[in-house]
Amino acid sequence: MKKLIDYTKILRSKNAGPLFITFDLIFNTKEDMEYVEQRLKKSDISRAYGVSEEKIDIISYGVVNSIKITFPRKNISGSLADNDIYGCQQHIPLANIII
Amino acid sequence: MKIVALNGLLGYGYSEEALNIAFSEKVDYIGVDAGSTDPGPYYLGSGKSFTDRGAVKRDLSLALPKALEHKAPFIIGTAGGAGSSEHVEWLKEILLEIAKEKNLHFKLGTVLSDVSTEYVLEKFDSGKLIDMSSEFSANKSTIKESARIVSQIGIAPIIELLKKDVDIIVCGRACDTAIYAAPCIYEGYKHGLAFHMAKIMECGAMCSEPVAAADVMQAYMYDDCFELRPANPIRKCTVDRVAAHTLYEQSNPYLIFEPDGVCDLTNSRFEQIDERTVRVSGSVFHEAEEKTLKIEGVRCAGYRTISPATIYDPKTIENFDFITDAVTEFVKENTKKTMSDDSYKIFFKTSGGKESSMGVIIDVVGKTQEIADTVCALVRSRMLHCDYEGRKSTAGNLAFPFSPSDIHVGEVYEFSVFHLAKVDSLMETAEIMIEEV
């Protein structure tokens, strides 16, 4: 059993504007990208972040062997309960998903 | 046509040698992005910049004489970090200071893009304010509470100023892409290529290796493609870097949404034409039927006092939820005669906890600074001495790294508006001025 992060060259999170969080998964090879693409389930992401499946967008970007995941932030950037203004430390629950 | 990006953010610095190399051949336009919403809502609310004045002055004072010498219009987007009229004033003051010191003269164009609460309410009432996220709906009362609201202008106001032969353009809140796309579109280049180039250039040398937001980038525009080459000889553009750039901070790597329409990268091609240069072609633009401007507003949510501490005792960490509940109840009881429940909010912002230690920031936001101070002091002292079952470390629960332990953070802002407004004209929020310096 390998974690998602073990398949990636780069795995990062960042705000896509203050209302959305976006994750970039960049792979060394097309094969790695496709392997993950076929196995990564919205239900896993939904469970890891407590966000409903229909709000999760997954887009493959084959030009650079990458997958992008975006969903709305529950606590938008800078709201009183927010803990990560730039959103750049939100990737760990995703990284730990078992593929 | 050659266009130069000074760096990814005015005030982040760049190599002077790289700037000299960029200007060793004819430069037609130069631009720099000077702001972002990344650092959060505070800066728009307070009218302050998150960039340092000295660093901004340094970045401008080297580039300004070069731009004037080359007669290359210099376009600065989102002045002062957040782009309200106050931020624009701040940047203009720095510009004028440099002009005086170096005896420079130029025609200065300014675009203000502030909007009033009435403007946003009118959009809301007429159904022209569109939510961008399901988690953030437009709300009349928060719109009304807004301290400052700005609109993100697109290319139109910048083109208006270029037509009037200005040397320097200082923009209020502007789309990052507008800085670089506007001159290309003004010169007749294709929208698709102009916006794609602009999306990459606005981050400076981020699309090169070694990666750096803090360095000079160059683009060469042609009828059917554009080429990117970093000015600094230590860096190179690679196909992977350039192609990967549209992933960064974007919700969709194929589509770049603009006030005028959408730039479509589905059929973009990337070619390495020499060791340091990448050619891009095939990007197209679809004009939107309905034009929109992004509206950003903030409201003051209160005043903050915090107290950071660490807990090392595993038994205390285990009882953390019990302690915070007890503390919250204690504060409620102790303040019931002096303040209402809704005049403050308590947050415990934690990190770690399961292994060796837990960091906790007691975070109190009150309607006034006095309320925040009082509540934070009560929470801190009660939490320090709160008893729990099986407690052996009865001298105290918290390790404070500082004296004083409580820190006044001051006013707190939250986004009150972050929506798209349908507009009749992409100029409707722009206020243009021209002056001779």
**What pLDDT is stored for residue B212 in this prediction?**
83
Cα distance from B250 to chain A (closest Cα, Å)?
5
A77 with B41: Cβ contact below 8 A: yes
pLDDT one-digit tens code per residue, B201-260 = 999 999 999 988 899 999 999 999 999 999 999 999 999 999 988 888 888 899 999 999
pLDDT for the residue numbered B246: 83
Chain A residues within an 8 Å CB radius of B414: 78-80
Q: ∠ CA(A70), CA(B42), CA(B429), 5° rounding?
A: 80
Q: What pLDDT is attached to residue B245? A: 87
| C-beta of residue B413 within 8 angstroms of C-beta of residue B302 | no
Alpha carbons B113 and B91: distance in angstroms, whole number: 15
Q: Which two tokens stand for residue B277?
A: 């240069």
pLDDT of residue B37: 92
In the prediction, which pLDDT does B267 show?
Answer: 95
Q: Mutation target for A interface from B152, B203, B251: give the one with most A CBs within 10 A.
A: B251
A17 vs B37, B252, B270: nearest CB: B37
Q: Is A75 helix (H, G, I), strand (E, B) or coil?
A: coil
Distance CA B26, CA B134 (A): 48
pLDDT of res. A29: 95
pLDDT at residue number B248: 82
Chain A residues lying within 8 Å of B240, measured CB to CB = 64
CA B31, distance to chain mean position in Å, is 16
Nearest to B282 by CA among B297, B259, B263: B263
A16: amino acid identity, one letter: A
The span from the CA of B37 to the CA of B42, in Å, is 9
Interface of B with A in 404-423 (CB under 8 A): 412-415, 418
pLDDT tens for each residue of B134-157: 999 989 999 999 999 999 999 999
Q: Which residues of chain B fall below pLDDT 70?
A: none
Nearest residue of A to residue B350, measured between CA atoms: A83
Four-way CATH pick for B300-416: 3.10.20.30, 3.40.640.10, 3.30.70.600, 3.90.1150.10: 3.30.70.600
pLDDT at B124: 97
Torsion of Cα atoms, B76 then B79 then B82 then B85, to 10°: -130
- CATH 3.30.70.600 positions along chain B are 300-416
Give dist(CA B285, CA B258) in Å, integer.
Answer: 10
Looking at chain B, how many residues does it have?
437
Single-letter residue type at B10: L
The four Cα atoms B324, B326, B330, B333 give a dihedral, to 10 degrees, of 120
Instruction: Collect the ranges in chain A with pLDDT lower than 50.
Output: none
Q: Where are the beta strands (DSSP E) in B126-186?
A: 129-131, 146-152, 168-171
